[in-house]
Structures are given as C-alpha cells and as structure tokens.
Structure 1
C-alpha cells in the first residue's frame, strides 16, 4: 500500500496529489484542481481544469464568470473519475448546495478530503455521507467542546418569536450569500413564515441558482427602492457587512440578527452590535466532529484548519493517529463569505489536461 504522505501532502498551493498530479481546493491557480464546494476560500478562479459537482461548477460560473477555468469536469455524487491511476469519487458533505467530499483511492489506500461539512439536516443540500477510509481529512472550525450548537428550528423559532413581539420593527438577518441565506429562508418557510422575504441585491443571483436546482424559496422580493422606515414586521436578509452599513438605515427601527455558529460566543455578537444572535452554522460542531470520527474510525485523522488541538488530543485518547496540516488560506465561518470572491484570470501557460 502506498504511504498516505505519498498520495496527498500539503504544499503552499494546497493539498497536492503527486501520482494524480492535481490539487484539492488549492488556494492559488494550478493546472488541475478538485474543488469540494463553492465558497470563495475553497473555490478560486484561474485553474486550468476543475473537477467538481455540477452544482459547484454552476456556482463558480455564477460568481466568477463563465471563463473561471478553461476546462470543467462535472462529476455527480457517487460517480468516479480517474487520472493517472488515481480514482476520485465525490460524495455529499452536507455543507452547502453541491458540496462534496473528495474520496481519493490509489494502490489500496483511501483518503477522504471532507472539505467543510456538517452532520445535521439542511433543507437546501444533500446530507453528509460517511465513507470508510484509512485517512480522514477534517476541518476543525468549531473543534472545541464548548461549541455545541442548538437545534436550527429553535434558533429560527426565536426569530419568528421576535417578529411577533416587535411587529413594527424590521428584522435584518445577516447571512452569507452562498448557503446560509438560502438555508435561513427555507428554515423560515418550514417554521410557517409564508410572507415575502426581502433580500439584498448580493443574494439575488445565487437565490435564482438555488431555485433552478429545485430549492423552493417561496416569495422573494428585492430590498431596494423602499421608502424610509420600510419593512416593519418583515424579514430582510443581507450579507453580514450590509446590516451595519448605510444600506440598513432605510428600515423601520431594525432588529439586527446574525446567523452564524460564532453567535454562541456572546462577545462576538456584542462586537458586531447584533441584537438577535442566531446560532446557525454550516460547519460541524464538536459533537458532530467527534461522532463523525467515531463512525468512520479511520487509522489517521488530519486536521486542515481551525482549532485542531482539541481534536488531536481526542484522537490520541481514542487510539487514532492525528496530524495538524496547518494549511493557510481558508477562512473561519465569520469571514469566508463576508468579502467578495477572489478573482483571477485563467492560467495562460501550458495546455491543461482535463482530469
């Protein structure tokens, strides 16, 4: 069996597979990339060829333009592609629409690059699928025991309750444009909120993409061209930066809310001036991380970014070999989608080969 370090190892550009000659979620333009999902710290433009789910490729085209790469290889969940004798299979990660784990197999060794993932139900994407493997490569955004997130329905229930308590105030919810905003909308619909939901212009194109993919968001209206003191008793969703910007001043005595796993930390909510913190995360919390390790039982766990010390200690106490990769270029949940996507022009040197 090939050694794990010979199949995948960290480089300044990201995780590299020498026998397959490709990178997974590279942080700089490369000739061949496997991309796990569409968030801008994992999916960057300028690669020669990109292998990803059809939904992730569509998200990248929407955000970067149709020329974000020279060549695309769509791979549906469960399908396998091969390059230089290395098999690549994509399985659901449960993070956002189209998010996938990259299952990489070569010479008897299976390694899973999980990307970002969560284990709880999400009405806007396919749920996480555990895959037996020798090496499981995991994020650790919320990799400390203090991070135990409440049920999503309870948090959305707090928002609905506030709407009833303050019927004359607009409720502005900060939520990232890809994944979180659509999830909050669907959770509101499941909680019985049937009225139109108003959205910032930055969300409109991705909302339409979700609708094309069969995610029913219900009646959506643009939060533009409104009179001063508008939307009393209504919900508006915007990127987190917008709820503290001039954009928010037109609304009626707004209740500011923010949907993020970090809202469990009261100091973060105070720093952002959030009146109604909603603990809704698209990442696994501590119990979900541990449950995943226990279910898969890999020989090794590699931690790519986040709070790796707690997970490494847990692995040691539970008979698993652990390793901190300390990859750079990946953002925490609070930061990844609060800035515009990083753009770059496609590589102009060499002719890339599709995976």
Structure 2
C-alpha cells in the first residue's frame, strides 16, 4: 500500500518517486516517459539517470531544459516561485548539484513534502551550500549515506589538484570527468591557475550553456582553430569519462612525445584508486553531499518523517533515526507498473 500523509500519498513506482494529491499526481525523476493521463512530471536536473521524454506537462528549470536537449517544451520554473499543478503546488529551490538542479517542495492543503533531488550541502567551485526549505516530509538522496563517506573541503581538494598539476607541468595530463557538472568545475579550477584545458565535444557543448548562464569558463574545444596545434606538445585536458580508456595514454604519449597522466575526481576515490583503469591520480571531489552534509541537510529541513532514495538507503535511514531521532525508512517500490 502507498504511504499516507493525510491527503497526499508518496511511493515509488519503478524508477519514479510518485506524489499523489487529491486532484493530481506528480512523478519525480521518472526514467519512464509519463503520459498526460498519468499525471504531471518533474525533473530535478539534467543528468541522464533523471531524464525521460515525458508526454505529460513537465516541470524543470530553464537551464535543465537547455542541458537536457529535449525537444518538447516543458513548464520551466524559477527558483523560489510557486506553480500550480491542479491542486498541488510546486516550488523549485536551488540544489547546487549542477547548473539548473532543483529541490522540489510540493504542497497541498497545508501539507508539504520536500524532494531533495541530487544536491550539495557544502560550498563548491561555483556555488554556496544549498539550503533546504522546511517541510513535513523529506524524500532525500543517500548516494553517500554511509558514515565512511566524509569528504575533505572543496578548498583542500582544489589546492591538491593545483599542486599536482604544477608538479607535473611538463607532462600531458588528462582529467576524466562526467561531461556535465564535474567537467565544468575542473575547467574552472584549471582556469584559476591560468590554464585553458582541451575538452571533448560533449563537455564543450555543456560548457557553452554554463557560460550563457554567467559561469565563465575558458577552454579549447575540438572545433577551435588552436586544437591541432595544441595537441602536438604536452597539454592538459578535461575529457568525458566515456572517451578516456587506458589505451589512450599510449596513443597520446606517441603523439606528444611526453609522459601522460590520467586523473579522476570522484567521491568514490575514498574506496578505490582506479589504478586498474589506468588512473594515475584520483581526487576525492564530488558533486554530491557527503554523509555529514546529508545528516545536516535532514536536520535543517525540520521534517518529522524522512524517506531515503538512491544509494545507501537502508544505512542512511538507520543513521537518521539513531543520530536525529527522526522516523526514517527507505522509500520502496510499493506499486508495480
């Protein structure tokens, strides 16, 4: 059975988080296309694991729409402004995860449910820490919801990256990164030490939209006139992870006549060195919140009931109950499609 909160219900249906009001139903981050007869859809951000080509009326921020590459025009929303979906009200708040990412506050008849989406509750290269609005019920991501995931500060990681790059300035350095979000942060870090990295085509496309929205970045795209000249000698690059394979180091070494180093930045560097994948250096650098930041976010939301989704859902729910004394449990698939 779905879980009841007065009038609103919340449950999972396959990949979607569903909030059902008296008059309308809202599907959050469904990877299956939602039809008009099913209800409304909302997309928290433009990473592919949160996207689908919905046929129903869909809520997202304008940057998320631009980054998604979708053809159907959605209902684009601004942070802090409330919109009506029949009887349900929805308000987007900046999640600070990537450009355009949103937390969604859903309200009906005095009840409120906050969906965190993917968020960062600490300052980053581009943003200050996200602030959760207060809500009765919280649905929170738990990617790093285990106590062992405690990250160094962004300032510490940035200093580590800058020092490592300077130490290896005579070598070719390739940072392997997610094309949307992490790549742009790495470009900015390198810009801060007067370097303009080469980037892969997909990273260039996303970076153009970051620049459009006021986040200035300096990089060399594959379409640049400088590209062919730059790759003849040692260079620094930020490349999409799908393009970076261990064998690329040998190819580039032959091309530049210089040693090649491959670097990776991820929160999972706490657990893995990634040396089996040809990685020479890994940095603990994530677009998500670490465990302590997740706990702090839950506490600041003032929620009296919490549902965990994505990642360490069982462990994080246990930790919320133990540390904060708040009723918490994983949000399970309780209704099959």
Alignment check: 8 A CA contact 1:305 1:326 kept: no
TM-score (norm 1): 0.82
Alignment check: 8 A CA contact 1:14 1:327 kept: no
1:298, CA displacement in angstroms? 1.0
* Residue among 48, 52, 72 paired with 1:40: 48
2: distance between equivalents of 1:163 and 1:314? Answer: 38
TM-score (norm 2): 0.86
The within-5 A match list for 1:195-344 is: 195-222=195-222, 226=228, 230-232=232-234, 234-244=235-245, 247-248=248-249, 249-251=251-253, 252-267=258-273, 269-317=274-322, 318-326=324-332
2: distance between equivalents of 1:300 and 1:212? Answer: 39
2: distance between equivalents of 1:126 and 1:153? Answer: 12
Secondary structure of 1:271's match? Answer: helix
2:34 counterpart of 1:30 = yes
1:242, CA displacement in angstroms? 2.1
Segments of structure 2 that go 5 or more residues without pairing to the other structure are: none
1:291, CA displacement in angstroms? 1.1
The superposition leaves residues 198-245 of structure 1 with CA deviations (integer Å, 9 ceiling, x where unpaired) of 11122111111111111101243439964797442x320011232216
Secondary structure of 2:50's match? Answer: coil
RMSD value, Cα: 2.4
1: distance between equivalents of 2:195 and 2:296? Answer: 38
Alignment check: 8 A CA contact 1:256 1:275 kept: yes
User: Where does residue 341 of structure 1 map in the other structure?
Assistant: none
Secondary structure of 1:112's match? Answer: strand
User: Where does residue 106 of structure 1 map in the other structure?
Assistant: 108
Segments of structure 1 that go 5 or more residues without pairing to the other structure are: 329-355
Secondary structure of 2:139's match? Answer: strand
The superposition leaves residues 274-321 of structure 1 with CA deviations (integer Å, 9 ceiling, x where unpaired) of 111011100110110111122223111100110123221122223211
Alignment check: 8 A CA contact 1:92 1:101 kept: yes
Secondary structure of 2:46's match? Answer: coil
User: Where does residue 121 of structure 2 map in the other structure?
Assistant: 119
2: distance between equivalents of 1:319 and 1:117? Answer: 23
- Relative contact order: is structure 1 or structure 2 higher (C-alpha 8 Å, sep ≥ 6)? 1
2: distance between equivalents of 1:309 and 1:198? Answer: 41
Secondary structure of 1:7's match? Answer: strand
User: Where does residue 345 of structure 1 map in the other structure?
Assistant: none
The 1:271/1:141 distance shift into structure 2, 3 A limit, reads farther
2: distance between equivalents of 1:16 and 1:228? Answer: 50
The within-5 A match list for 1:38-117 is: 38-61=46-69, 64=70, 67=71, 69=72, 71-117=73-119
The 1:228/1:91 distance shift into structure 2, 3 A limit, reads closer
